Amino acid sequence: MIASVEKHQQELINLSDSVWKYAETALKEYKSSKALSDYASKQGFRVTTNVAGMPTAFIAEYGSGKPIIGILGEFDALPGLSQKHNLQEEALKEEAPGHGCGHNMFGMQRVLGPPQLSKN
């Protein structure tokens, strides 16, 4: 897993930064959802979009058989939390949405691709 993260490090940082910049609120994460699902597809996942009639929801599947592991990732921004990339509270755009609790990174944890499991 560590090797996979290191291999994809810059791609994942760029993806996280994109979701941060989009700062889309719940059920309106159109750009974020597309960026994440496109990346998952490029990593070899079978991607199903528009899940349960929700245009921003998607499922990314890899492999077949068991075990089946499900992980929920959310990537919505919160209203009024626009924030510049610094440690001091400073809005990027006053009253605009932003990521205040790391949701811009949750999606990246889910689209790394399948872990390379050791046969040992």
pLDDT digits 0-9 by tens, 31-41 = 999 999 999 99
How do residues 37-77 score in pLDDT, each as one tens digit?
A: 999 999 999 999 999 999 999 999 999 999 888 888 888 99
Residue 109 is predicted with a pLDDT of 52
Q: Residue 24 has what DSSP assignment?
A: P
Is residue 15 in some structural domain? yes
Containing 92, the helix (H) or strand (E) segment is none
Residues above pLDDT 70, as percent of the chain: 87
- For residue 90, give the 3-state DSSP assignment: coil
Domain annotation covers residue 115: no
The pair phi, psi for residue 80, each rounded to 5°, is 75, 10
Number of domains in the chain: 1
Is 48 a domain residue? Answer: yes
**Is position 120 within any domain?**
no
Tell me what percent of the residues of the chain surpass a pLDDT of 90: 52
Position 110 scores a pLDDT of 52
- Say what the pTM is: 0.77
Please report the pLDDT score of residue 119 as a whole number.
43
Residue 70: predicted pLDDT:
84
Residue 59 bridge partners (DSSP): 48
Residue indicated by tokens 């605009």: 96
Q: Which domain holds residue 85?
A: 2-110
Of 18-27, 49-58, 64-73, 106-115, the poorest mean pLDDT is in 106-115
Q: Please indicate, yes or no, if residue 116 is contained in any of the structural domains.
A: no
**79 domain-assigned:** yes
Dihedral sign (CA 24, 27, 30, 36): positive
Contacts of 98 (CB under 8 A, 6+ apart): 20, 23, 77, 78, 80, 81, 82, 83, 91, 92
CB 78 within 8 A of CB 98: yes
> In this structure, what token pair is assigned to residue 14?
């760029």
CATH code of the domain containing 19 = 3.40.630.10
Question: CA-to-CA distance for 99 and 91, rounded, in angstroms?
Answer: 11
Rounded average pLDDT over 76-86:
85
